[in-house]
Structure 1
Amino acid sequence: MAAVVSEETFYLSDRQCFAILDWAVEQPQSGLVLRAFLASIALAALHPEEALVVRVRDVQSTDDGTGWLLVHPQAQERREKDSGHAGAVRRVPVCRDLAAILKEETIRRDLRPDDAIFVLDDGRPLTAEVYRKVWRQARATVLQAHELHSSLGRHVSALRDVRIAAWLKNGDQTAGHILAVAECAGMSAPRLAERFANCLHKPTRDEIPWGRLGAALALPDLPSQPTSTVRRP
């Protein structure tokens, strides 16, 4: 079942996300690159515009099969309310599955460091027009009839939302954890908390440490007797 983000936005389930990737790879034309492109959004929480410009040199591999992805800001990110994050290159963790997919694409097409990873098999660039058409087809195939008429997965960026939600839910949700997720997602922490409020643990009244909170907000001890002042003649 999809989890509600707000009245107008829903999360795809993990099953639906993987079904979409499986559908993409079965396409007779450019199936592998389409899967790789969608996987970079689903597993690294990239904006589609960011994924389009990923080059081989942006992928940093580690010995354990994971890695990092250098994400360069694009037009959509600069339109975010977080002006402090616009223009900054960020490092996003790459899981083993995504690392393997990106490596497979690099080897399959014998790509060089400066080459873009997501290019159609006929040499044409993968454009927004192309991936939006693919997304509509994938959504129509994977989702059930009643889901197609809802906002569930209406845009390809729904894959990004699923990953951000998973990052938030699978952690201690301390301030440091939330800040780290915000940095990977290219958002400010307040914007992240607003957009994904349902993913954050809301303590009950009994869980709030009222004693420590009161002590932290207490004023310093005041003298028991008022201090006398000298009057001028």
Structure 2
Amino acid sequence: MNTSYDVKFFEISRNKSSKTPSHVVRWSVARKRSSKTYRTKALAESFLSDLRQAAKRGEAFDIETGFPQSMIKAKDARTILEFVTAFIEMKWPHAAAKTRDGMSDALATVLPSLTKERPGRPDAETLRTALRKHLLLPESKRPAAPPEMAQAVRWLRSASLDLAALNDAKTVRLALDALALRLDGKAAAPNTIARKRAVFHAVLEYAVELEELDANPLHKVKWKPPKVTETVDPRVAVNPRQAQELLTMVTYVGGRGRGRRLMALFACMYYAALRPAEAVGLRLQDCHLPLKGWGRLTVDVSRPEVNTKWTDSGNAHEERGLKHRGRDDVRPVPIPPELVKILRQHIDEYGTGEDGRLFRSERGGVIASTAYTEVWQDARQLAFTPAQVASPLARRPYDLRHAAVSLWLNAGVSAPDVAERAGHSVDVLLRVYAKCLDGHKDVANKRIDDALAA
């Protein structure tokens, strides 16, 4: 293959010579021009984006075909498994660690269903392990497979259906039915099904882009997924008195003063509605903490936790930008005097890390979710009655954020202001927290009574 890194891209143009609307992607490799025509502008833009990403990550382009190496690998794929592994290679460099984990989780659910009947089929758990720990990683990151896993890998490669089988609606339905179930055979949660279906849909769209499939076969299958619940359950939101009781009890649990070290972390989730990953990444330089009055947090970093095999650094926490925002975006969050006081006391007692981080483990590392979740569950046992402990009330630390946003909305703070503080769009905010708005039914009932009495 004769390759080059001299790649130039041109604007997408409308194909005026065709009777039916279409759009042309044009680019050149070593001054040799290439083009592809798509029926819709969206498909053309998606293909051009893939080309640009390949160039950004330093891939060589084949001069003859004009395609980057990752696309050639996908176009050369003969089985579904080969195509999926090429898809993973293409997506990996620009995907967040959580996204990589989600892709692997979804495809490890789907791929075992897209296989032929072959003798020696490993059990479901072994197949999933072989996919998650080997095949659904880029080749450069795959560890040496132990004998049992190596056998499962060989079976998956030999049994994988041909890529063309995805044109058959029955094949696609097998995949959909698989992602609707957990490994134990029970029904998966609606949100899980929707997330996994979205990954499978993206794989099929990539096959359409590369003209390996004429159209996305998911659109031909009449398969209705369970309804996804987007709204927050109002039962999880604590009131201010309960929140204060929980924060107090946190300081009494955990060995070696662990709970006391974490109280301010939980306070940021409640008083500032920070996501746990945002609170974990908070630094001194992000905080304006005056002696009197309201302060401000300038949030620009998130440290989501994920298995080390999905990160580039090999660390369990990968520094990322804010959720739903650009990498360099920041979110200013005004904080009440109560939180200002808590943070000042925390800094006086524990100081900060070399990078300015406020919250660290006893050894100075990034706080693991298992550590603060364990403390949280112990605090619930002390702060709540047995009935409340068994209820959804503040079951997870994340529910403190839900309680904060619910409090702000019910206090009459405008939706745009709440959305800005919480890092949501207004429409998402009102949709997600619709059930947490109190008192509006009483107002509506009063207005109806007045109208009936008129």
Class of the TM-score when normalised by the shorter of the 2 chains: 0.7 to 0.9
SS, match of residue 30 in structure 1 = helix
The change in CA–CA distance for 1:205 and 1:116 in structure 2 (over 3 A counts) is same
Greater Cα radius of gyration, structure 1 or 2: 2
Structure 2 equivalent of residue 179 of structure 1: 416
Letter of the 1:56 counterpart: L
Structure 2 equivalent of residue 92 of structure 1: 333
1:158 aligns with 2:391: no
Written as runs of structure 1 = structure 2, the 5 A alignment for 1:202-213 is: 204=444
Structure 1 equivalent of residue 22 of structure 2: none
* Aligned equivalents of 2:250, 2:445: Cα separation in 1: 47
Structure 2 equivalent of residue 23 of structure 1: 249
Shift of 1:15: 2.1
Q: CA RMSD in A?
A: 3.0
The change in CA–CA distance for 1:52 and 1:206 in structure 2 (over 3 A counts) is same
Written as runs of structure 1 = structure 2, the 5 A alignment for 1:1-233 is: 9-27=235-253, 28-62=256-290, 64-74=292-302, 75=304, 83=324, 85=325, 87=327, 88-111=329-352, 114-171=355-412, 177-198=414-435, 199=437, 201=440, 204=444
* Aligned equivalents of 1:113, 1:44: Cα separation in 2: 24
1:197-232, Cα deviation, whole Å (9 max, x unpaired): 141746638869xxxxxxxxxxxxxxxxxxxxxxxx
Q: Is the 8 A contact 1:57 1:114 kept in 2?
A: no
SS, match of residue 51 in structure 1 = helix
* Aligned equivalents of 2:339, 2:372: Cα separation in 1: 19
The structure 1 segments of at least 4 consecutive aligned residues displaced by more than 4 Å after TM superposition are 5-9, 75-80, 205-208
Structure 1 equivalent of residue 152 of structure 2: none
1:58-87, Cα deviation, whole Å (9 max, x unpaired): 10134633211011253599896xx4x354
The change in CA–CA distance for 1:141 and 1:179 in structure 2 (over 3 A counts) is same
Name the structure with the higher helix share. Answer: 2
The change in CA–CA distance for 1:191 and 1:30 in structure 2 (over 3 A counts) is same
Structure 2 regions of 5+ residues with no counterpart?
Answer: 1-230, 306-319, 449-454
Does 1 or 2 have the higher relative contact order (CA < 8 Å, sep 6+)?
Answer: 1
- Figure out how many residues of one structure are paired with residues of the other and give that number: 197
Q: Normalising by structure 1, what TM-score?
A: 0.73
Q: Normalising by structure 2, what TM-score?
A: 0.39
Letter of the 1:22 counterpart: T
* Aligned equivalents of 1:96, 1:164: Cα separation in 2: 18
The change in CA–CA distance for 1:204 and 1:102 in structure 2 (over 3 A counts) is same
The percentage of counterpart residues that share the same residue type is: 27
